[in-house]
């Protein structure tokens, strides 16, 4: 099925032939566990809850979760919890990993370590999906990479696109429309983002970037507004209908997605791609719905 809204994402996760198993590291975090309990009740995932078992049981009771529905794994501290999560994933007992009550840097360092066996050979990248009022944009869309790669070069951007397109295709978007953002739709050789965008479009046209339509350079308004494209006389299959916005570097991406979630009130879900399994690392300030949908997204991205 094609996912066009977050409700579809939940349906898609439920319909998978193999249910994802999420290894939650230091699961004694109320906000994280609340989302896990909801996802389990919806039939989206199973979970390994790793950490302080007594605290996890107390939270499950508070949140209305049944401890017998989960595999509880005791761990004495962050290092042991991370080690146990990695071991279970490498043993095929879990197909996604989620951060609980520990520092993001410590969590991510363990995941990306070459010694963990989770890294794989690809580039890691963060993708976020956003749903806003239909009067503003007509479908679910994604942004990448706003949190992992600071200033990717051309090859880095190509890998980031490949990661994102692979997930979008899993979500039923057969040929994603990809907008490589810059300040204008006109090539400016003095701006590296503009030069890279034009080159990425050429790589797609030559077949080196596959299974998508790439447009670039293209501005945000032309990517997301058919009316703006009409006024400017800009013709492209991506104009006003982008499935994926690729930002030039981390600052632009960070500002964009915070505007989407803050001022535009977007609901969001995100996951890190490029490892052997999806990585769920939501912000501590994320809404409960954002965490829930991030779990559903990771379930759809998990290997079958």
Distance CA 115, CA 33 (A): 28
| In the predicted structure, residue 283 carries a pLDDT above the cut 90 | no
Instruction: Lowest mean pLDDT of 33-47, 86-100, 134-148, 276-290, name the range.
Output: 276-290
Domains recognised in the chain with CATH numbers: 6-120+275-301 (3.40.50.10950), 125-261 (3.40.718.10)
pLDDT at 287: 74
| In the predicted structure, residue 292 carries a pLDDT above the cut 80 | yes
Is the Cβ–Cβ distance between 98 and 292 less than 8 Å?
A: no
Name the 3-class secondary structure at 55: helix
Angle at 217 between CA 213 and CA 218, to 5 degrees: 80
pLDDT-derived band at 229 (thresholds 50, 70, 90) equals very high
pLDDT (mean) for 214-239:
96
Distance CA 292, CA 32 (A): 9
Give pLDDT tens digits for 10-24.
999 999 999 999 999
Give pLDDT tens digits for 71-117.
999 999 999 999 999 999 999 999 999 999 999 889 999 888 888 88
pLDDT-derived band at 284 (thresholds 50, 70, 90) equals low
| In the predicted structure, residue 285 carries a pLDDT above the cut 80 | no
Element of type H or E holding 105? helix 104-112
- Going by the DSSP 8-state scheme, the letter that residue 68 receives in this structure is G
pLDDT at 44: 94
| In the predicted structure, residue 304 carries a pLDDT above the cut 90 | no
- Going by the DSSP 8-state scheme, the letter that residue 114 receives in this structure is G
Give pLDDT tens digits for 208-220.
999 999 999 999 9
pLDDT (mean) for 30-38:
94
């Amino acid at each position: 099925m094609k996912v066009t809204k977050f409700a579809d994402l939940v349906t898609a996760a439920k319909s998978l032939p193999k249910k994802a198993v999420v290894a939650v590291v230091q699961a004694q975090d109320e906000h994280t566990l609340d989302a896990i309990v909801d996802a389990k009740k919806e039939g989206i995932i199973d979970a390994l809850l790793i950490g302080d078992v007594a605290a996890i049981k107390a939270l499950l009771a508070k949140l209305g979760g049944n401890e017998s529905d989960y595999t509880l794994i005791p761990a004495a501290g962050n290092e042991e919890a991370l080690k146990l999560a990695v071991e279970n994933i490498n043993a095929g007992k879990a197909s996604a990993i989620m951060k609980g009550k520990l520092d993001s840097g410590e969590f991510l360092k363990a995941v990306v370590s070459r010694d963990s066996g989770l890294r794989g050979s690809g580039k890691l990248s963060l993708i976020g999906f956003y749903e806003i009022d239909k009067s503003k944009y007509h479908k679910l869309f994604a942004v990448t990479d706003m949190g992992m790669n600071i200033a990717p070069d051309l090859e880095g951007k190509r890998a980031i696109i490949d990661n994102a397109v692979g997930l979008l295709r899993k979500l039923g978007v057969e040929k994603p429309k990809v907008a490589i953002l810059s300040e204008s739709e006109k090539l400016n050789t003095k701006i590296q983002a503009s030069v890279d965008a034009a080159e990425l479009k050429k790589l797609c046209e030559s077949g080196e970037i596959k299974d998508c339509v790439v447009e670039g350079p293209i501005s945000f308004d032309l990517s997301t507004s058919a009316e703006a494209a009409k006024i400017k006389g800009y013709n492209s299959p991506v104009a006003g209908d982008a499935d994926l916005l690729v930002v030039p570097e981390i600052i632009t991406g960070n500002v964009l997605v915070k505007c989407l979630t803050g001022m535009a009130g977007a609901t969001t879900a995100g996951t890190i791609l490029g490892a052997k399994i999806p990585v769920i690392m939501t912000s501590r300030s994320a809404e409960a719905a954002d965490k829930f949908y991030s779990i559903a997204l990771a379930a759809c991205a998990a290997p079958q």
